[in-house]
Amino acid sequence: MEALEKDLCADVHPRTLKRRLALGIGFLVLLCALLVSASSGVVKIAPHDLLPTLLGSGSPEDYRILWHIRLPRIITGALTGVNLALAGCILQGILKNPLADPGIIGVSAGAGLAAMCIMILLPAETKFVPLGAFVGAIIAVALVFALSWENGVHPMRMVLAGVAIAAFFGGAMTALMVFYSDRVQGTVNWMAGGFAGRSWSHAEMVLPYTLVGIAGALLGSRWLNALQLGEETARSLGVNVPRARLILLILAALLAASAVSAAGMLGFVGLIIPHMVRLLTGSDFDWLLPVSAIWGAALVTGADAAARVVFAPVEVPVGVFMSFLGAPFFLYLLKKGMRRG
């Protein structure tokens, strides 16, 4: 019996240590990304001067740059990274597909179309962009659910329906830009995805969605773990599978919509992060969700810093960086899946 307990401890301990290491390294990478982003720019501020500057010991100019320009942008970016990573994680868990992502299955496109309609057709009502984005994401989820329903919802049908919905909404956004070409200047950068010009109001707008999303994701981790065992096993564990899928889809739509309203069409974060973290933590969503949230914040914060610094004084939209990272990664996953098939 003692030998068996030792063997079990030997099996469990390395995995737990690996998960804690992934969480700890994620925090360190996020901290480094935050420091680099706050320090870098046209006006350089040394990392050791950041705290004194915020406390009023630095120059007034550095304080204004740090407090009114960089910090709102950094915090909005980090919260957006958390939301997109959690949304991708939830969708991959629901669909049991590592290629699932808010952008790929139409959620981001639905949110983007609704937000663009408000920005172009009702420019005086931009305060309703977050609400409109959420409504658009919910409509996309409802359409995906309806199109994939046939005596229940099958994950593969949901992916295919999502791709079709994303293409349809993407075409609608292009049509809006063509028909209202005189009004699209303000939406071009938003379409590319980025955080230029973000203020504290954007951070305050995203924060409640992030808090709700984190709480909902952690509470829903039991459902996600059960769904990985198959529908029959999940039902035997007391999970109402259709209801659990619907609630989790709405949660993912909420997270993706808030990210789209703050950052625009920023893709691939929800694809890259959950898959990368899964290699470190395994498929237990009790660990996968929080670790993905930390790494998502680190990735977006780092990408935003690179977008500002690499081609300075020209600023490249963060969405361009994420496309260069995400597209090859998506092709790698696709090729890997074809080999297994």
DSSP state of 194: -
Is-contact 84 294, C-beta < 8 A?
no
DSSP string, 224-262: HHHHTT-HHHHHHTT--HHHHHHHHHHHHHHHHHHHHHH
The tokens describing 168, both together, are 């349809």
What are the pLDDT digits (tens) for 218-273?
999 999 999 988 888 999 989 998 889 889 988 998 898 889 888 888 888 988 89
Query: How crowded is residue 247: how many other Cβ atoms within 10 Å of its Cβ?
Result: 15
Rounded distance between C-alpha atoms, residue 262 and residue 198, angstroms? 8
- Measured in degrees and rounded to the nearest 5, phi and psi for residue 149 equal -85, 125
Question: What pLDDT, on the 0 to 100 scale, is given for residue 4?
Answer: 40
Question: What pLDDT, on the 0 to 100 scale, is given for residue 1?
Answer: 44
Query: What CATH architecture applies to the domain 2-340?
Result: Orthogonal Bundle (1.10)
Rounded distance between C-alpha atoms, residue 252 and residue 265, angstroms? 16
- Extract the residue ranges of the chain whose pLDDT is less than 50: 1-2, 4-5, 7-9, 338
Rounded distance between C-alpha atoms, residue 89 and residue 80, angstroms? 14
Q: What is the dihedral of CA 21, 22, 25, 26, to 10 degrees?
A: -150
Burial bucket for residue 7 (CB in 10 Å: 0-12, 13-18, 19+): exposed
Question: What pLDDT, on the 0 to 100 scale, is given for residue 8?
Answer: 42
Rounded distance between C-alpha atoms, residue 328 and residue 321, angstroms? 12
Question: What pLDDT, on the 0 to 100 scale, is given for residue 68?
Answer: 92
Is-contact 176 120, C-beta < 8 A?
yes
Across-strand partners of 153?
A: 149
Is-contact 248 220, C-beta < 8 A?
yes
Rounded distance between C-alpha atoms, residue 82 and residue 221, angstroms? 16
Residue bearing tokens 């670790």: 291
Question: What pLDDT, on the 0 to 100 scale, is given for residue 336?
Answer: 67
